[in-house]
């Protein structure tokens, strides 16, 4: 094999491994996620988050069992980079909740924060 062909094959192999590693490093967040949190003075709340991806990026909807969120509320400003997912959503009283989670395969863990200071842990698992 000539020297240039060997170098070219080596470059292709390195690029393939690098791209495969990059794809594996960034999990897919599209789908339906079932979550749980604890709301101060109200108790446990079950959540359903649906994330889709279009030409302009991610979009999603959220619903909860306590009725603190209007059914199928639009999730705003979804950002996903380096396994970190952030977004915002409004409560029925108009307060905007911020969310920050780490995605690890079919599980997301993190927290939500209310503008008045309340916070809570969040755990989501991908619906099978």
Mean pLDDT of 49-71: 94
Do 60 and 50 contact (CB within 8 A), yes or no? yes
Q: Residue 2 pLDDT more than 90?
A: no
Mean pLDDT of 51-69: 94
More confident residue, 8 or 58: 58
Q: pLDDT band at residue 1, thresholds of 50, 70 and 90? A: low
Task: Provide the pLDDT for residue 3.
Answer: 72
Distance CA 128, CA 68 (A): 26
CATH class, domain 28-126, is mainly beta
- Residue 46 DSSP symbol: E
Task: Provide the pLDDT for residue 49.
Answer: 97
CA distances 50 to 25, 29, 31, 110, 127, Å, are 22, 9, 6, 17, 10
Task: Provide the pLDDT for residue 9.
Answer: 60
Please provide the size of the chain in residues.
128
Give ∠ CA 96-26-80 in degrees, rounded to 5: 20
pLDDT digits (tens, 9 = 90+) for 101-113: 999 999 999 999 9
Task: Provide the pLDDT for residue 26.
Answer: 57
DSSP string for residues in 35-70: EEEEETTTEEEEEEEEEEEETTEEEEEEEESSS-S-
DSSP string for residues in 65-88: SSS-S-TTEEEEEEEEETTEEEEE
């Amino acid at each position: 094999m000539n020297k240039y062909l060997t170098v070219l094959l080596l470059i292709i192999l390195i690029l393939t491994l690098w791209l495969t590693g990059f794809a594996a490093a960034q999990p897919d967040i599209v789908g339906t996620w079932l979550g749980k949190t604890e709301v101060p003075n109200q108790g446990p709340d079950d959540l359903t988050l649906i994330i889709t991806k279009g030409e302009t990026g991610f979009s999603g909807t959220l619903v909860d069992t306590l009725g603190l969120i209007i059914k199928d509320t639009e999730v705003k400003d979804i950002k996903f980079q380096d396994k970190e997912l952030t977004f915002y959503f409004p409560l029925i009283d108009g307060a905007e909740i911020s969310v920050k989670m780490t995605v690890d395969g079919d599980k997301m863990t993190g927290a939500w924060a209310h503008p008045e200071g309340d916070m809570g842990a969040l755990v989501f698992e991908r619906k099978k």
